[in-house]
Structure 1
Amino acid sequence: MTTTSPCDSDADRSLFRRAGAAYFVIAFIARLPFAMIVVGVLTLAVEARGSVSLAGLTSAAVGVGTACFGPLLGAAADRFGQRPVLLVLAAGNAAALVLLTVVAYAAVPDAVLLLSAFAVGATAPQVAPLSRSRLVTLIMERMPETGRARTLSSTLSYESAADETVFVFGPFVVGALASLLGPAAPLLIGAALSLLSVGAFALHPSASWISVHRRADGGAASSVSELFRSRLLVVVFGIFGVGLLFGTVLTALTAFMADRGEADAAGLLYGVMGIGSAIFALGIAALPQAFSLRLRWLVFAGILLGGTLILLTVNDVGGMILALGVMGIGIGPTLVTQFGFGTAASPAGRSATVMTMLGSSVIVGQAVGSALTGVVAEQAGTSVALLLPIAAAASIVAAGIVNVSLNPRTHSHRHRPQRDR
């Protein structure tokens, strides 16, 4: 499978020129604080409170905060523009991360720790979904129709690969900083990065793309009820399943390595899945259009399920690496395909809202998976915890099957986002 980037074809190079090289650098770095949060919170809570189950619940609280406020922040970006929303979030999230770090070591009830984690999730800057929203708007509103579908596919592939890369790099950075400077360092450095990089993302000229179009066109956004149509909800559930997989795999892997006295190496092994995911996410843009989106979801989710089934036979680190490698082949292309369906099902004027719904689903799924697996690993053992990724992968396949019935065959091979009116 070959790889592509947002600048491989003439149309893609046009997108790269229009957005500017600085945009892709800033948007990539601005993702990193969010990628560090879940693992950073997990690491800090284990060290400060000495409980894997509490650490999982703390990560889950981050996810609940994201679930409650992520889509609302996307709706605010659609209504008021991305820049003011992101500037407030950059400062608010930095403050919340510092607060959580202080509370973790303070002699306060666990409930205070969970509330602090909730605040971190509630203020988490939605850089990845808002970046998708910006680029999709640029492609659909300011680029020639010729080559638009190809550019959109390449861009969504790049965006998913960028997410995967930072979510691989994030745990590695957390592990390195925690080892060198202590478990509080990742969140404190993440706070500084959130303030600086998310601030830069907010101030980039691209933040005005969506708001400029809406002022010029003068129309109102679609009704909120259109966000609850089955074609979109099945994608939300499918992406939730991906997040669930991330959370169950990471926490089960941590328990697996902890049993061998090498818990600190879990983040590095987790990177095996993420690296493969990023590579294959990029490569999906090179697949022929005859390989429909509906079929891609089923095929790559099936590969993902196959990778999780290998966990039933894993007895050593080598077997775990094999399982993670196979999962990596399936996860990236599945995510790209799901975002393609989400883009196509976006109601007019609700691009940022939909993208934050999808992005929040990943984080919520990851947090729920982490919390559930932490409890199972602590009470029933690692071998039982390793069954949970299989259930998560099965939910992704099930959502893909439902998606087939909701999307006509004639429309399954191309992205058709609706114009903001």
Structure 2
Amino acid sequence: MASAVKDTRPGYGQLLRTPGAWTFLLPGFLARQPFAMLTIGIVLLVEHTSGSYGTAGIVSAVTGVSMALFAPQTGKLADRFGQRAVLVPGVLVHAISVTALITLALAHAPLWALLLVAVPSGVSTPQVGPMVRARWAARLGGTPLMPTAAAFESVTDEFTFVIGPVLATALCTSIHPAAGLITEAALTLIGGLLFAAQRRSQPPVEAVKANGGARTSALSVSGVRVLIVGFLGIGMVFGGMQVSLTAFTQEIGQPGINGILYGVFACGNMLSGIVCGAIAWKVGPRRRLLVGYAALALATTPLWAATAVPVLGGVGLLVGLCIAPALITGYTLVESLVPASARTEAFTWLTGAVALGQAAASATAGRLTDAFGPSSGFLVPLGATALALVVLLMLRGRLVPHSASLVVDTASQGEPERGVGHRTPVAVD
């Protein structure tokens, strides 16, 4: 698709004018919303029917863990058999599983029954984000627009985490406790089937097989394993904030404010994501990751002490502002750390790590909230980010590519690195 690339300095506008792009972007956007709606929808519904944040957290955690563990397998299956072959049965199973979960929760079924359907609900969650990235790569691979596409996808992921939880919370608190999950299942089914129907943009299975003779597993790259730890911490911020904000607003008798508070947190995340894609960075992604993650750990520190809604909203906004730089920079590093043949798998590992962290935080924060009150749940994001930061600092040397040929420092060539949306190869430090 070299004809789509005529400018030596491509931007978002030129990217979105790529022929055929909107045919998979729009259904892909619908289908990826459920990823950010599922766990918070489960927390709100199960807490309402069981009266326990601990129980809600466990069901949410099992769903998230199932999603995280199976996500890389979904990527491998899509590479081998094609995206449509994986998506169509997957979204059908997901819709059925979530419907069963809703029915059992409203019927006050025992915990074991909820967990039984939570597993397939998580396993069948479609990994649309990595699939969209694979379609961009098939269409634009080897052109100057490919780095811009990677940046666009990172910002879209951020936007997903802005819209999804806020939508689920608003539906559950204003319409019915099950409304969030009902919408999640409908979006998964409709968006997933529409996305799968776009066969022309699907990466050819033959090309994947031809290039995949001796594949390198993404997990064999030590830098990916380090990034997974960092993304686990970020996922625990999402999970801890969801459960703790829900419990806080319930305790003060204003559950409707939950959507506003989480919306402020999510908007901070989205705004910083847009800015990160526009800045002409002169500092390499590894250093940006460490600085951004340190800021995130610091921002989560006062969460547990906030007792007033305005203060909690302000701190939540600050935390949100610090998340996107760490997430986007982590995805940026994948491009220099992982061979092209394993990048889709690497993206699914990182996406799964966020889901796994979110699930673990939901369970932990739920139990802490039941035992010690809502403020204790906010200790989960603090502890998780602090531990992950220590790991990132200790193992930062593994975030440098083994082959210098993978990386070109654009600053040394007299041209600054133009954010995640305007990279040639990236500087490593």
Q: Where on the TM-score scale, by shorter chain, does this alignment land: which range? A: 0.7 to 0.9
> What amino acid does structure 2 have at the position aligned with 1:15?
L
Q: How much has 1:310 moved relative to structure 2?
A: 2.6
1:376 to 2:377 alignment:
no
Deviates further, 188-197 or 365-374: 188-197
Deviates further, 271-280 or 99-108: 99-108
The residue that corresponds to 2:97 in the other structure is: 96
Q: How much has 1:103 moved relative to structure 2?
A: 1.3
Provide closer, same or farther for how the CA distance between residues 190 and 376 of structure 1 changes in structure 2, counting only shifts above 3 A: same
Q: How much has 1:14 moved relative to structure 2?
A: 4.6
Counterparts of residues 306-345 of structure 1 (less than 5 Å): 306-345=298-337
The residue that corresponds to 1:27 in the other structure is: 28
Counterparts of residues 138-157 of structure 1 (less than 5 Å): 138-141=139-142, 143=143, 147-148=144-145, 151-152=146-147, 154-157=148-151
Q: How much has 1:176 moved relative to structure 2?
A: 2.8
Report the identity percentage: 30
TM-score, reference length from structure 1: 0.88
The residue that corresponds to 1:354 in the other structure is: 346
Corresponding residue SS for 2:390? helix
The residue that corresponds to 1:3 in the other structure is: none
The residue that corresponds to 1:185 in the other structure is: 179
Q: How much has 1:79 moved relative to structure 2?
A: 1.2
The answer as to whether partners of 2:68 and 2:353 remain within 8 angstroms in 1 is yes
> What amino acid does structure 2 have at the position aligned with 1:52?
Y
Provide closer, same or farther for how the CA distance between residues 85 and 207 of structure 1 changes in structure 2, counting only shifts above 3 A: farther
Corresponding residue SS for 1:263? coil
1:85 to 2:86 alignment:
yes
The answer as to whether partners of 2:231 and 2:350 remain within 8 angstroms in 1 is yes
> What amino acid does structure 2 have at the position aligned with 1:116?
V
Which of the residues 157, 162, 169 maps onto 2:156? 162
TM-score, reference length from structure 2: 0.86
In structure 2, what is the Cα distance between the partners aligned to 1:15 and 1:205?
Answer: 20
1:263 to 2:264 alignment:
no
The answer as to whether partners of 2:70 and 2:123 remain within 8 angstroms in 1 is yes
Gaps spanning 5+ residues in structure 2: where?
1-6, 410-422
Q: Deviations over 1:327-362 (max 9, x none)?
A: 122101110011112233334423332221111111
In structure 2, what is the Cα distance between the partners aligned to 1:166 and 1:105?
Answer: 27
Deviates further, 22-31 or 132-141: 132-141
Deviates further, 75-84 or 285-294: 285-294
Gaps spanning 5+ residues in structure 1: where?
1-6
In structure 1, what is the Cα distance between the partners aligned to 2:392 and 2:198?
Answer: 36
> What amino acid does structure 1 have at the position aligned with 2:360?
V
The answer as to whether partners of 2:76 and 2:345 remain within 8 angstroms in 1 is yes
Deviates further, 250-259 or 327-336: 250-259
In structure 2, what is the Cα distance between the partners aligned to 1:231 and 1:155?
Answer: 22
> What amino acid does structure 2 have at the position aligned with 1:339?
Y
Q: How much has 1:198 moved relative to structure 2?
A: 0.9
In structure 1, what is the Cα distance between the partners aligned to 2:158 and 2:126?
Answer: 17
Corresponding residue SS for 1:262? coil
In structure 1, what is the Cα distance between the partners aligned to 2:318 and 2:286?
Answer: 21
Corresponding residue SS for 2:213? coil
Provide closer, same or farther for how the CA distance between residues 53 and 132 of structure 1 changes in structure 2, counting only shifts above 3 A: same
Which of the residues 369, 381, 386 maps onto 1:389? 381
Provide closer, same or farther for how the CA distance between residues 381 and 107 of structure 1 changes in structure 2, counting only shifts above 3 A: closer
Q: How much has 1:221 moved relative to structure 2?
A: 4.8
In structure 2, what is the Cα distance between the partners aligned to 1:12 and 1:72?
Answer: 31
In structure 1, what is the Cα distance between the partners aligned to 2:299 and 2:364?
Answer: 20
Provide closer, same or farther for how the CA distance between residues 408 and 161 of structure 1 changes in structure 2, counting only shifts above 3 A: closer
The residue that corresponds to 1:15 in the other structure is: 15
Structure 1 ranges of 4+ moved more than 6 A: none
Q: How much has 1:415 moved relative to structure 2?
A: 7.4
Q: How much has 1:381 moved relative to structure 2?
A: 2.2
The answer as to whether partners of 2:24 and 2:201 remain within 8 angstroms in 1 is no
> What amino acid does structure 1 have at the position aligned with 2:365?
T
Provide closer, same or farther for how the CA distance between residues 292 and 79 of structure 1 changes in structure 2, counting only shifts above 3 A: same
In the comparison of the two structures, how many residue pairs are matched?
402
Counterparts of residues 153-232 of structure 1 (less than 5 Å): 154-205=148-199, 207-209=201-203, 211=205, 213-214=207-208, 217-224=210-217, 227-232=219-224
The residue that corresponds to 2:413 in the other structure is: none
Corresponding residue SS for 1:30? helix
Provide closer, same or farther for how the CA distance between residues 270 and 50 of structure 1 changes in structure 2, counting only shifts above 3 A: same
Which of the residues 228, 236, 239 maps onto 1:247? 239
The answer as to whether partners of 1:312 and 1:386 remain within 8 angstroms in 2 is yes
In structure 1, what is the Cα distance between the partners aligned to 2:52 and 2:342?
Answer: 41
> What amino acid does structure 2 have at the position aligned with 1:173?
L
Q: Deviations over 1:86-111 (max 9, x none)?
A: 11111111111111111112353211
Provide closer, same or farther for how the CA distance between residues 402 and 155 of structure 1 changes in structure 2, counting only shifts above 3 A: farther
The answer as to whether partners of 2:247 and 2:374 remain within 8 angstroms in 1 is yes
In structure 2, what is the Cα distance between the partners aligned to 1:392 and 1:44?
Answer: 26
Provide closer, same or farther for how the CA distance between residues 107 and 258 of structure 1 changes in structure 2, counting only shifts above 3 A: closer
Q: How much has 1:51 moved relative to structure 2?
A: 1.2
> What amino acid does structure 1 have at the position aligned with 2:384?
A
Q: How much has 1:206 moved relative to structure 2?
A: 5.5
Corresponding residue SS for 1:10? coil
> What amino acid does structure 2 have at the position aligned with 1:363?
A
Pick the structure with more helix per residue: 1
Q: How much has 1:297 moved relative to structure 2?
A: 0.6
Q: Deviations over 1:225-279 (max 9, x none)?
A: x523311111111111110111112212222222211233223211212112112
Q: How much has 1:113 moved relative to structure 2?
A: 0.3
Q: How much has 1:15 moved relative to structure 2?
A: 3.4
Corresponding residue SS for 1:261? coil
Provide closer, same or farther for how the CA distance between residues 120 and 166 of structure 1 changes in structure 2, counting only shifts above 3 A: same
The answer as to whether partners of 1:160 and 1:278 remain within 8 angstroms in 2 is no
Provide closer, same or farther for how the CA distance between residues 283 and 213 of structure 1 changes in structure 2, counting only shifts above 3 A: farther
Corresponding residue SS for 2:330? helix
In structure 1, what is the Cα distance between the partners aligned to 2:293 and 2:424?
Answer: 19
The residue that corresponds to 2:274 in the other structure is: 282
The residue that corresponds to 1:44 in the other structure is: 45
In structure 1, what is the Cα distance between the partners aligned to 2:315 and 2:355?
Answer: 22
Q: How much has 1:289 moved relative to structure 2?
A: 4.2
Q: How much has 1:52 moved relative to structure 2?
A: 1.0
1:299 to 2:291 alignment:
yes
> What amino acid does structure 1 have at the position aligned with 2:100?
L
